[in-house]
Chains A and B, each alone.
Chain A
């Protein structure tokens, strides 16, 4: 518990330092000026989201092949944290777009595929809430999760394959892509900070899901004992009569 507290303080400190670096150390961008600094938390939130969804995909496949409930717990935890990061990206994006493009939103390939991705994973969470049977819930959501993951590479490739309002990639893009070295260092720091926060949230959410599994097992044990006790007392009553 003490280690968990120390880790939280350490990661919060890292986030503060990353924020300071993004606001005061990173050089000013020539055309967009201050508002371009949203980039230092916009891009890391997408990297965190993509990482979480890759773990979800692995967990969904692992659940369908092994039927171990720990993989279902890993998947649902990842979807919740991934949706959180996706929501942050979908809010910070328009906040950056409005002063730069003059519009909050446009239905280009990148933004549309991303919005579809958000809807798919929110549907995943809603689907789980509708199903009662744990085995059925885990199986159906694993299948749905694999289907939803098909949109992840599409989101990544959308601004490489089609012309979009969203800028072309600045990292791993074409020959004209690239970042100022200091901007790159600050971005790396922000990616590490947001990634650490995502991992911390993921671990906590996974712990919660394991505890919920324990609740299910305890309920099942109580139900089994009650059924056994009822059948014993029924048999005794028949013997007396």
Chain B
């Protein structure tokens, strides 16, 4: 297949971009959830 490397790179870019973005959002959600828990504990302690 001629120019297959361009097709393969484009295909990998699409997958990698969506996958990396989903992982980054999931990480940020878990960090914010932890922050919410600690803030709730602080609020209850007051």
Q: Which residues does A use to contact B, with CB under 8 Å?
A: 15, 19, 23, 33-35, 37-38, 41-42, 45, 81, 84, 87-88, 91-92, 95-96, 98-99, 194, 197, 200-201, 204-205, 207-208, 211-212, 214-215, 218-219, 221-222, 225-226, 229
Contact = CB atoms under 8 A, between A and B. Distances in A.
A34 B9 contact: no
A87 B17 contact: yes
B6 A35 contact: yes
Interface residues of B, number: 29
Contact of B6 (A15, A41, A84, A99): A99
A205 B25 contact: yes
Nearest to A229: B46
B2 A33 contact: yes
B21 to A, nearest CB: 5
Nearest to A92: B10
Contacts of B11: 19, 23, 38, 41
B7 A35 contact: yes
Among A15, A87, A214, residue most surrounded by chain B Cβ atoms (within 10 Å): A214
Contacts of A38: 6-7, 10-11
Contacts of B32: 208, 211-212, 215
A42 B3 CA distance: 16
A226 B15 CA distance: 48
B24 to A, nearest CB: 10
Contacts of A218: 36, 39-40, 43
B29 A95 contact: no
B33 A211 contact: yes
B25 to A, nearest CB: 5
A69 B36 CA distance: 18
Given A99-B3, A205-B25, 7 more contacts: A15-B15, A35-B2, A42-B10, A84-B18, A95-B6, A99-B6, A208-B32
B6 A211 contact: no
Contacts of B28: 208
Contacts of B39: 215, 218-219, 222
B6 A98 contact: yes
A200 B21 CA distance: 11
B29 A92 contact: no
Contacts of B35: 215
Contacts of A229: 46
B26 A225 contact: no
A95 B39 CA distance: 47
A214 B36 contact: yes
